[in-house]
Structures are given as structure tokens and as C-alpha cells.
Structure 1
Amino acid sequence: MPFKRTTLASVLLVAIGSTNAYADQQVLIGLAAPLTGPSARIGKDLENGAQLAIDAANARHPKIAGEAITYKLIAEDDQSDPRTAVSVAQRLVDAGVVGHWNTGTSIPAARVYNEAGIAQVAPVATGHAYAQQGFDTSFRIMGHDDDGGQVAGHYALQTLKAHRIAVIDDRTAFGQGLADQFIKSVEADGSKVIAREYVDDKTADFSAVLTSIRAKNPDLIFFGGVDAQAAPLARRMKQLGIKATLMGAGGFVSQTFLTLAQKEGEGVTALEPGLAIDQMPGGRAFAKAYQDRFKAPIELHAPFAYDGVGVLIAALEKADSTDPERYLPVLRASAFQGVTGTISFDTEGNLKNPTFTVYQVKENKWQPVSVAGGKP
């Protein structure tokens, strides 16, 4: 029988359906991520994690519908830009592969994949809106910002004992959405935010917003944004003599932040979806395999990319088909044991029982200090 191109997807990883036969019986798993620009190191980290999963699957000499197949990873650069992401998504649908990294790219691209009938499993995108579009093709394997913002807000008030909280966000779907949820959590606990400021995702000089915030004497500044901007923000806070704790979530806990922030990063607090690598069920073995293969430590999200590929491949093979009508229900009912933990989905396609870890920079290292969520 002719072998059809796979129809799967992921906010990072996906493969898409076609009626064209492959003479070499390859199943394409695509990765669309920021492979250039300021977040390229994260895109490469995701690509590396995905490639390890592809290699592990091929080492088993897999078969689908009785035929030997080989999985192949196809990587595309969406530049972490929503408009580019839509173009990339459509191009990859036509070519047979799709996927993305952050919320801002995942939300508009999801419509393209849904119209094509392609499953989109997001290893990273945390904006709740991604899974609230009503698409039964959208999934995620990381906790979303409604939960993350609640955990962060509670930690800021109850553990850090913050009383005067200022908020800055980068106006992206991720940064603004996260900041909104953090504020909701703070206000639900009976506190108020004393200042709300905005930048954009290209801002390099935070002097204006920090000068305005400094006048209000905050004891904590929450930033909705990513590591490349959080580091210069931390440095500028020190230069201006602002002694408030800097707090963020999702995208802070990277090697790059430590390199850019250096001593100015000491004491920064961040919430990251998932467990610390050493606490993940397969984390230590994965970290060693990653280091052995790529001669570098994990940057941030490689284990989630690995599991994104893994849950897609598991659904394909359990369904014994590359037909989305057959493997999509299997994916939806997944109970996949991954490196990051058990992956199963709720009715929206969100990860069930997500875990969140709070980190602090101590002696220029990210140290996990608290865990919330997960199964009792």
C-alpha cells in the first residue's frame, strides 16, 4: 500500500498530511522555531531536543501499517514573529511540516493547522489563549499562564512578602498575557499593583520605565518578557539603585540570562513551567545524552521538544496509521510517559496536572526553590 506523509504537529514540532506517496517511506516531523534572531539559541535548543527524539525513535526500527519507516526532522525558521509564523505555517503545510515556539506565533499559526486538519502539539507556548480558540487540533505539553500567573502571584505575596509591586510587560501575547494573569492573582489575594508599565520586545534601554517605577518605591518588579530583555533590565535596576526583587516567568531560566546578567542577576526570581531537569523523571539521562551529542548544556526547553516529538510518534504508532482521522483521537487520549513527566490532555488540549518550579539566581546559578502543581 502507498505510504502517506504524516499529519501531526506541534508548536514546535509537527508533521503534516498529504496523499503523496514516499518511495523511501519517510515520515516527516517538522520543527518551526526562531532559528535566527535574539531567540535563536532557544530555537536551536528545541531543534536539538527534537532531533534526539527522532534518533531514539529510528533506533527502534519502527513500522507503521506493516511497513518499515524512518522519521525525519525538518526545521524551519519563523523568527519568533507572528506574521512570519503564518507564512511559515502555510508553506510547511504545503510541504508537509509545521510547528512554532512562543505564544505569539502559535496562536495565529494554529488556525492554519486546524484548517489543514493537522495536530499541533505545543511543547512551549504558555498563553492560555492558544488552546482557547476552539480547535480540536491544538495541544500543549506545558502548563499555561493562567495557572503560572496564579502561582507566581501567590509566591510573590506569601513567600517573598512583597507589598509594593510594579509590573512591566513587553506587549507580546506571551508577556502581556502573563502579566495580566499575575496581576489577577495579586489582586485576588487582596493586594494591589502600584504601577503598570509597557515596553516592546525590542526594548534595550529600560531607563524611562524604571525611573518612573523607582519613584513609587517598589519592593518587587514583575516582568512579562523573555531572558534576553530580563538581563539588561536587571542590570539597569542595579545601576539606578532599585533594590526591588526582579521576578519573571517562562523564559527567564536560561544559561543566556546568567551570561548576560552576571552579578546583577543575583536574587532574581522566576517561575518556569515543568520540573527542574534533575527532578524530571528522565531528566538526568536526557541531560547527559544532550551533552554527549551536542557538547553543550541544555539551554532551556529541549526536554519539552523531545517529549513533543515523542507523544506525536507514540500516537502515530499506536494508531498504526498516518491518517489524522485515526491518530488524532489516539493523541487526544494520550497518557505518554515522557522525560518531563506524564503527558495527557484536558478537553481544551492543555496538559493535565501541570507542574511549575520557582527558581532563584544564587551564586550565578539558577537554583530551584519551590514546586507547585502536579499530581498530589
Structure 2
Amino acid sequence: MSLIVVITAVDQLVPEDLHLGPLLMIAPAVTASFAGAWLTGLIGFLSMGAEADIGWHFGMLFSREVLVQILALAVLTALNVFFAVMRERRLRQLAQVRSVAEAAQYGLLWPLPGRIGPVRIACLYMAAEDEAQIGGDLYAATRIPGGVRLMIGDVRGKGLSAIGEAALLLGAFREAAHRHATLPDLAATLEHSVARYLADFEPTAEAGERFATALLLELPDDDHVIRMISCGHPPPLLLSPSRSLTVPSLHLAPPLGIAEAGPDAYTIDVVSFQPGDTLLLYTDGVIEARDAYGRFYPLKTRAAQWTKAGPESLLHHLKRDLLAHTRGRLNDDAALVALHLPPDNHAHRRHGHAIHSNEFRPS
């Protein structure tokens, strides 16, 4: 609106051989870039009125030059209104897709509570596909008598195509986590669930190529340890407030869906988890994220910078750093979960023991 007034006023003040009327086309063109159809049409109509006023001021209202300019403004306004209508329609459709995706994410990947039992939890999920809120990475946690059980997993594939397997694995974990006394029994049940699903729904062309990695954890309330079973999943990082970072050495079982196995096929690894420690769980979408030169994201090096950060702050730093590393675009879904045992739990739990681990200290 101000641009129309300025162009009209200046055109009437400059010498008659200077014609600024064609600049009025700028107003509807600029308006169409951010406004809706009604405002775009209004600005176009006012631009035509301003052009007519300029022509009337100079006694040239019905000249061919002024009439052509008014006609050009009318055509430009009509096109801008059309594109504004199409953009608004697309934005409405996009908003509907986002709302459905958000509802699906909430229904499938339930947000983890900020605290379960004595443990503080923070989680982060970044989908690889544009406009997608969920994909093939997953996590879940539940309270059981005497402790907490948690799973983080990664279904082969990414984005929306992997949601079916992710939903199956999450549902199986939520149902079985309360029913089985030991982690090997739980792992075997999840393996049977995935195997049954693949037998019924796996395409023939992809036979043997669909599977899921998973890391199962159990945190007892009465001991300073974490029990873990890794089904082909990357090992977590253990951050201590002394600015040290360790990588627990875990026995690796095959990913879920590769070969049916009973409880005897799974080995429990026990890792010390002292008050003040933070355990960082992640999927391979994090460590396999590449920068412009094809270099993988150095999660251990970067996480070691924030060993004293709380779980929420740690994930906030890692998210910003990961997106900066990849220039804001991930090639695979990525999930991070941080488990933190506050120091005030020292009086409530006994000391545990640690297995051998590889220690990493920032330089």
C-alpha cells in the first residue's frame, strides 16, 4: 500500500517525460509472495486505480500507453491471485498432512516421560523424509516392578515405508515388557513377533532383507547397574560427570528378523550406572550422517564435550551440532535417548559393577 502511494506521488512530481507508472507492477508482485488471494487482488486493484489517477493527472487517462499499463496490471493481478489461491490450497493440504503425521507419531511413538522411577529421560527424533514426523527408528520405555525397561531400535529402511515394522516392534515390546521376567525372554519374544510379521507380509523380492536392530535395557531400582542386550544395535555411550566417555563392550546377537532364536541365544551385559552418569542411546542415522565431504558424524568426540550437561541440554547440543554437520539434511532417520541418574539417588541404591569398556577422553 505504501509503495503504491509513494510511486503515485513521485510520478506526479517528476518531469512529465519521466513515467514511473510501470513500477506499480511491483506492488501486486511483491504482495503475492506472502499474502493471500484477497489481499493480493486488493493491492492489484489499487495499483490499477493509481495508474488511472496518474493518467488522469497528466490528461492521458484514455491514451493507449495508460490503457495498456492498466491492462497489464489487470493481467498480472489475475495471475497473482490464481497462484495465491493455489498456494493457499497447497498449504491447507500440507497442514492436513502434518496433522495426520503428528497424530500418527503420537499414536505410534509415544513421547517418553521426563522421568521414570529414579531415571530422568530425554529423547529426540529426526525423520529423514520431508514433512514426515516418524520413520523406521523407534524407542519405548515402561515401568516394571522393581525397575525400568527401555528399547531403542532401527528398522531397515527409512521414512514412511518403515512405519509398519516399527509399529509391530513397538507394540510387541509394550505388550511383552511386563510379561517376561528376564531380558533374554523378552528378546526372544520380540524375535518371534518380527519373524511372524515378516513371514506374512514381507515381499518375496525382499525375502531375508528386512530386519530390525534393537537395544534392550533394564535399570533396576535397587542397584547401580544397567542390564543390556544388543540385537545388532550400536553400543551406547556412557558419560560421567568427570568428563570421561566410555563405550561399553557388548555381546552382539543377530538383528531381529534374521534368524529365530530362543532365550539362550542372548547374553546380558551389565554396565555400571552411577549417580550423575548419563547413558546416551542412538541409532545409526546419527553416526552415519555425513557432511559435505562424506565424513561421518563423530558422535563420541562431540558428545564428550557435554558430559556435564543434563539430558535435555545434551540432546539440544547434539541436535544443533548434527544438523550443522549435515547442513540441515539427514539421509536417514535419527533417534537419540539420554538416560540420566541424578546424584540424589545415591542413598537409595547399592553400588554395582562394570564390564570392560573402551574409554574415550576429549583432547
TM-score when scaled to structure 1? 0.26
Higher Cα Rg: structure 1 or 2? 2
Q: Whose helix fraction is larger, Structure 1's or Structure 2's?
A: 2
Q: Which has the higher contact order (CA 8 A, sep 6+)?
A: 1
TM-score for both structures, normalised by structure 2: 0.27
